[in-house]
Each structure stands twice: as structure tokens, then as C-alpha cells.
Amino acid sequence: MSAKREGCVLIPAALFIMAGLLKAQTPQAVVAFENDVEHQNLQIVQRAREILSSPAKWNRADTRVCRIQSCSLGCPTEAKTFSLYCALKKATDEVQGQFDHRGAVMQEARYLVDEIAVNRKDFQHRLEGYNNDPTTAFADIQRLFRLLEDRFRKRLAESTR
């Protein structure tokens, strides 16, 4: 059989196989994946809230600069106090095993700051700015976590319908 003729047989066969694989991605599989992702996002927020469970654990003067050797993206790895950003980062590392600066939880937290922070236009970095704003109280940080949890719970409920 010539190479040209083999191609005429192989290409349709490959397309047939690919179509079968695409059918394997059932709506149920997609929904299950979305549920897993939303559940994981919810776990990240819940864990961050645990990390910042008291005012004594809150670093309200985040500089995004780490002056010790064991740091990751401005967050000391052995910290005893955490800014909003570092609590979310640590929680993401623990739940997902890796951190994405632009991950869903981080982005949703930024969107919430845009919605609720009066001085948001003054913030160079939204999470740092909100965390460090003198008008932000510990109760405000906890409220942000509750609002984040509510958003991810709502998405999880919607994706299970």
C-alpha cells in the first residue's frame, strides 16, 4: 500500500478514535470535575480562615518583602502570623500542593476586595492593600472569608444541579 493510500485509511481511523474519546467526556464527567474544583476552592478558603482564626495570628502589615531565607512569594514559610495574601497562599499550597498567584481563589478574593473596600483605588496590590488598610479590622478579614465561602458554596450547588 502506498504512503498516500495509508494516509487515506489512517486519518479517518484516527478521527473515529478521537470522536470516541471525545464522547467519553460525558456531561457527568465534566460536572464531577467542576464539583471537585469548586470543592477544592471551598477547602482553600476554609483552611485560610483557620490559619487566620484569631487577631493574634493576623499580620496586618504585609510588605510582600521577605527578609529571611525561607520565603515563598513574599510569605515566610515558617511564619506564625499571616496576612490575607499569605493565609490564602499557605492554604492553597496545603490543599492543592501548589500555588497559582492568579488561581480562582486568589482572583475571587481580589474581586471581593474591589466590591467591598472603600479605598481600593489606593491599593497597589489589592490583597495587601486591603490587609494593611488602617480601616480594615480583623472582623473584615473574616467577613471576606465568609463571602468567599458563600461564593464557592453557591457555585458548588449550581454545578450539582
Residue 8 lies in a domain: no
Phi, psi angle pair for 12, to nearest 5°:
-60, -35
Residue 3 lies in a domain: no
Residue 91 lies in a domain: yes
The pLDDT value given to residue 142: 97
Residue 22 lies in a domain: no
The pLDDT value given to residue 30: 47
Instruction: Quote the number of domains for the chain.
Output: 1
Residue 41 lies in a domain: yes
How far apart CA 126 and CA 80 sit, in angstroms, is 22
Q: Is 58 helix (H, G, I), strand (E, B) or coil?
A: strand
Q: Could you tell me the pTM of the whole model?
A: 0.75
How far apart CA 78 and CA 70 sit, in angstroms, is 7
Residue with cell 453557591: 154
The pLDDT value given to residue 138: 97
Residue 111 lies in a domain: yes
Type of residue found at 51: I
Residue 65 lies in a domain: yes
Q: Strand ranges (DSSP E) for the chain?
A: 71-72, 75-76
Angle, helices 27-51/138-159, rounded to nearest 10 degrees: 170
Grid coordinates standing for 17?
478514535
Q: What is the distance between the terminal CA atoms of the chain, rounded to a whole angstrom?
A: 53
Q: Which domain holds residue 142?
A: 27-159
The pLDDT value given to residue 6: 52
pLDDT (tens place) for every residue of the chain, 161 residues total: 555 555 455 666 665 565 555 555 555 544 455 567 889 999 999 999 999 999 999 999 988 776 655 666 678 777 899 999 999 999 999 999 888 878 999 999 999 999 999 878 888 889 999 999 999 999 999 999 999 999 999 988 887 76
How far apart CA 143 and CA 15 sit, in angstroms, is 52
The pLDDT value given to residue 67: 63
Residue 58 lies in a domain: yes
Grid coordinates standing for 154?
453557591
